[in-house]
């Protein structure tokens, strides 16, 4: 593969790309067998939790409890899809098993999933295809779908804020233009994740990688929605956000 030069402006993205999946070698396997009966799971309903789950997503047991709260009243199959993606977002000993389940879900239950899943989870599925598939067509579809969905989310949030003539308090914004998509909150990692994915595509792009890399570098040096959103790091109430992630650097502003 042709090696593409990484501009200095994009080194932080490249560092983030190298550690895209956080290492979690001690993660317990809560997944069903990779031969699980999906038809039965589609007919079962996720029960409502009787206790409030913790918010520590780094612990897989707590992550599953949080997802169980989200999918209460929906099918066990939809919950499994979300749980499998959660495993695939981490570097665990169970990646191959989770990927086998994910591919089976979309090979055998695609009609069910596209009818039931919100846009949010469809975008997550597309990102997963990009991250893990070794099939070029699947990676292209996944990557482009991820970019498409998230750019719409970003645009609709900014549009809403401009219409209301106020700072974009996206955490309180419900994206009605695409039901189930939601908005985004400045400081979230959506913007840097878009840039990391584009950098990855450029590095894998062969002779097409150089012009794509140049484009990303130009955007990093420009004045776009990325820089405008980053500027909110110094604006109240975002200046008090301890986890404000910048679009190209990934640095987090102090609380």
pLDDT digits (tens, 9 = 90+) for 170-201: 444 566 677 777 777 788 888 999 999 999 99
Are the C-beta atoms of 180 and 120 separated by less than 8 Å? yes
What's the gap between Cα 240 and its chain centre? 24
105 in a domain, yes or no? yes
- Answer yes or no: pTM beyond 0.85: no
Q: Is residue 26 part of a domain?
A: yes
In a domain, 90, yes or no: yes
- At 165 the pLDDT is 57
Burial class of residue 22 (count of CB atoms within 10 Å of its CB; 0-12, 13-18, 19+): exposed
Res 172: pLDDT? 47
Query: Is position 112 within any domain?
Result: yes
Calculate what percentage of the chain has a pLDDT beyond 90: 57
Our count of domains for the chain comes to 1
Q: Is residue 228 part of a domain?
A: no
Q: Is residue 83 part of a domain?
A: yes
Range of the domain at 85: 21-116
Cα 189 to the center of its chain, rounded Å: 9
**Which parts of the chain register pLDDT below 50?**
170-172, 255
64 lies in some domain: yes
Looking at residue 114, its pLDDT comes to 92
Helix (H, G, I), strand (E, B) or coil at 235: coil
Q: Is residue 194 part of a domain?
A: no
| pLDDT (0 to 100) of residue 133 | 92
**pLDDT computed for residue 167 by the predictor:** 55
| 23: helix, strand or coil | strand
């Amino acid at each position: 593969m042709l090696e593409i030069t990484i501009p200095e402006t994009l080194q932080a993205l490249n560092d983030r790309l190298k550690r895209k999946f956080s290492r979690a070698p001690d993660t317990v396997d809560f997944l069903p067998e990779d031969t699980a009966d999906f038809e039965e799971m589609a007919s079962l309903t996720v029960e409502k939790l009787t206790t409030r789950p913790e918010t520590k997503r780094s612990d897989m047991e707590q992550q599953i409890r949080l997802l169980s709260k989200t999918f209460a009243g929906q099918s066990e199959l939809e919950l499994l899809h979300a749980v499998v993606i959660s495993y695939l977002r981490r570097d665990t000993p169970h990646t191959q098993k989770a990927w086998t389940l994910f591919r089976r879900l979309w090979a055998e239950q695609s009609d069910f999933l596209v009818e039931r899943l919100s846009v949010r989870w469809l975008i997550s599925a597309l990102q997963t295809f990009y991250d893990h598939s070794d099939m070029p067509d699947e990676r292209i579809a996944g990557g482009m779908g991820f970019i498409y969905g998230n750019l719409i989310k970003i645009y609709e949030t900014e549009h809403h804020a401009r219409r209301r003539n106020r700072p974009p308090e996206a955490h309180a914004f419900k994206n009605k233009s695409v039901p189930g998509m939601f908005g985004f909150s400045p400081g979230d990692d959506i913007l840097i994740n878009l840039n990391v994915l584009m950098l990855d595509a450029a590095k894998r792009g062969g002779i097409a990688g150089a012009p794509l890399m140049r484009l990303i570098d130009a955007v990093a040096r420009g004045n776009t929605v990325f820089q405008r959103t980053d500027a909110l790091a110094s604006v109240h109430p975002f200046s008090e956000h301890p986890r404000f992630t910048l679009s190209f650097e990934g640095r987090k502003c102090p609380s």
